[in-house]
């Protein structure tokens, strides 16, 4: 069955066209070959966009899975509507890394995985515990990780496969800071939070280096709301945690959280 892809891409912004074409390609495969397929790991915004397309096909159904209880990065499993259910364990694998060093962070584990030549899209969420870290990966690379991941932060580690039900809950440590900003415009926010001039903030947004809630935003005038997650390429991620009234000079007081 050939799908008129352009019809389904009319509402999709340019930076997500390729991702949504892949979703349509997978739908086409399911309809033609009657097999179960899955995406790589996607961010929440891409998952939402994918749902908006998937929901338009009565002949298929899908399942969004990430392994952890409340995952951020998730895969979408797509299959025919007559199939009762699919087992996410066939698509995802839980891996536990026993650490021999303290103060290991999310980026240390991710960096070690990427250092093996694994692309980010094959790696789900990472949870750091006391003495070990749990990760979810695509089952297609689980054996490769098992036999090739030997070090994190130059320290030897041991690696084992675990049941998805045994994964540690994700409890990302954060810290909070108070700021006073001139407005809730995106350029004003990132200028203050990331210590940029207002012009640098505007140019950063216009250069397509900023995402809000995982969606690329290129308008400096975009207005932020409480709870928005802002990521700036090369400078990290922050969350506009709370609006805390206004100052005597009419500026907005905010509370911002950052990954620890």
The domain boundary residue, chosen from 38, 69, 85: 85
Q: Exposed, middle or buried, 80 (CB in 10 Å: 0-12/13-18/19+)?
A: middle
Domain with 127 in it: what CATH number? 3.30.70.330
Whole-number Å distance between alpha carbons of 43 and 80: 24
> What is the domain-level CATH number for residue 16?
3.30.1370.160
Q: Do 137 and 214 fall within a single domain?
A: no
Say what the pTM is: 0.85
The C-alpha angle with vertex 184 and arms to 178 and 189, in degrees rounded to 5, equals: 60
H or E element that contains 52: helix 44-54
Shared domain check, 112 and 55? no
23 and 79 co-located in one domain = yes
**Same domain, yes or no, for 184 and 248?**
yes
The predicted-structure confidence for 86-104, as pLDDT tens digits, reads as follows 999 899 999 999 988 778 8
Residue where a domain terminates, one of 55, 85, 115? 85
C-alpha distances in angstroms, 56 versus 32, 49, 136? Answer: 17, 12, 29
In CATH, what number is assigned to the domain containing residue 199? 3.10.290.10
In angstroms, rounded to a whole number, what is the distance separating the alpha carbons of residues 146 and 241?
A: 38
Task: Let me know whether 80 and 95 are in one domain.
Answer: no
Co-location of 61 and 99 in the same domain? no
Reported as half-sphere exposure (CB side, CA atoms, 13 A), residue 214 has a value of 11
Which one of 45, 69, 85 terminates a domain? Answer: 85
> Are 140 and 178 members of one domain?
no
If asked whether residues 95 and 75 sit together in one domain, one would say no
Total length of the chain: 260
Distance (Å, whole) CA 75 – CA 113: 19
**Cα separation values, 96 from 53, 90, 153, Å:** 35, 17, 16
What residues make up the domain containing 30?
A: 5-85
**Same domain for 226 and 251?**
yes
pLDDT in tens, 114-147: 999 999 999 999 998 888 899 999 999 999 999 9
202 and 240 assigned to the same domain: yes
Contact by Cβ (8 Å): 65, 91? yes
Q: How many domains does the chain have?
A: 3
Q: Count H helices and E strands in the chain, helices first.
A: 7, 15
Whether 69 and 119 share a structural domain:
no
Q: In this structure, are 100 and 154 located in the same domain?
A: yes
* Rg from Cα positions in the chain: 21
Q: What percent of the chain has pLDDT over 70?
A: 98
pLDDT tens-digit map of 157-202: 999 999 999 998 876 678 999 999 999 999 999 999 999 999 999 9
């Amino acid at each position: 069955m050939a799908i008129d892809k352009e019809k389904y891409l009319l509402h999709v912004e340019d930076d997500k066209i390729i991702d949504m074409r892949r979703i349509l390609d997978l739908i086409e495969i399911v309809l033609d070959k009657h097999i179960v397929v899955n995406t790589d790991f996607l961010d929440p915004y891409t998952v939402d966009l994918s749902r908006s397309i998937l929901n338009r096909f009565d002949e298929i159904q899908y399942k969004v899975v990430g392994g952890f209880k409340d995952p951020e990065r998730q895969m979408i499993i797509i299959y025919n509507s007559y199939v009762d259910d699919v087992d996410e364990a066939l698509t995802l694998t839980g891996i536990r890394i026993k650490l021999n060093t303290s103060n290991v962070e999310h980026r240390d584990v991710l960096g070690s995985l990427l250092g093996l030549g694994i692309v980010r899209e094959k790696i789900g969420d990472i949870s750091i515990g006391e003495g070990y870290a749990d990760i979810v990966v695509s089952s297609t690379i689980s054996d490769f990780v098992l036999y090739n991941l030997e070090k994190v932060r130059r320290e030897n580690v041991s690696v084992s496969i675990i049941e998805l039900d045994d994964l540690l809950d994700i409890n990302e440590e954060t810290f909070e800071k108070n700021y006073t900003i001139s407005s809730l415009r995106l350029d004003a926010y990132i200028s203050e939070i990331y210590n940029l001039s207002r012009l640098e903030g505007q140019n950063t947004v216009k250069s397509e280096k900023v995402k809000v809630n995982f969606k690329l935003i290129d308008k400096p005038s975009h207005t932020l709301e409480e709870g928005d997650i802002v990521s700036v390429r090369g400078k990290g991620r922050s969350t506009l945690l709370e609006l805390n009234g206004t100052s005597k000079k009419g500026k907005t007081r905010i509370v911002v959280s950052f990954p620890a």
